[in-house]
Structure 1
């Protein structure tokens, strides 16, 4: 597991893709659930609990995909096919993040705005308990996201439940700074020039890593 690559891509992606995808989500609950008169400590705790919920969802997904990855470790050839396909998917995700193609974009939007999802969101957004912040984070974590798919593919290729969970935990932790700071520096993070630069950097890293994984898979298959 390449910890440096995971943290780098996740952090850069959080300043680009995550701000765009989850920014409205964070600003909605911040406006509806957090009173400006409440203490700074309470506001900070609310955001932290929300992010813990989000990371919890990622860890659960990472555990599941790590377990699924075990199914592809029975032979080098099957594992090679899986690496090759996962690498191609990562390249498509990177191109999609750059706006070159529309890969998974419609899926993200359709599921995120599903009536049942909106019903759950409406219930949680109108509840001001600390546990409701955890629920919102959990909901956000399970919503479709191209960047999350990339890391889930990485978790699956690890072929390990533990490494799958750790991959997604690191991803969640690396995206926390941007998500926690969104309410304070939203103007800077959503600036077109800065956001586009971060998206391009994260996209290029994802594409390069996808090509590398496809190469590993191809080499394993032709051996």
Structure 2
């Protein structure tokens, strides 16, 4: 089956860096707040909240932090209403970039995102200007060292659970699903006792862009670093081939 190892490996390293800096706690805290607001505080009746909790556990977020986030969001009194916004644009040499945000101040977030793009010689475009170059997919990554199933067995299990695609990468297995099937496939893995490195719905580029000049690479990294430092930014997807 087709592979997406470039995306998987890059994103895995990026997520680990986020976790090391503690930003993942902020990201997941906001996702919990939105999930509770949309579907209630009971995970058994809220598949989106179940997915966020699974993501939190995969990133070593303490149970107390998860439970406190749910209680705070359910209480409503001290909870913040976050608005979801997506920005699209281009980095150096036409690299496509999608920025997903959750914010309590849309004007602040928009200004910060535009500043990040401009400082890296990029620009924010109109909605839809690059999203057509990506596919929205549920993605599950499994560490080979933590999995006691062989590749063929795992692939058949994933496909039977409703997955669309399976890739055997260098250090991990990657499972892709339709976004609507993501929760069901993730829960099948969880019930089977298969440890997941990551499980989330992501935007996967259809084609990759190589940056030939060191200057362009530095400018692109500048954009990513600035976006990564912004607490309002939940996720960044791009078509830069970093290898």
TM-score, normalised via structure 1 length: 0.25
Higher RCO by CA contacts (8 Å cutoff, separation 6 or greater):
1
Greater fraction of residues in strand: 2
> Normalized per residue, which structure has more helix?
1
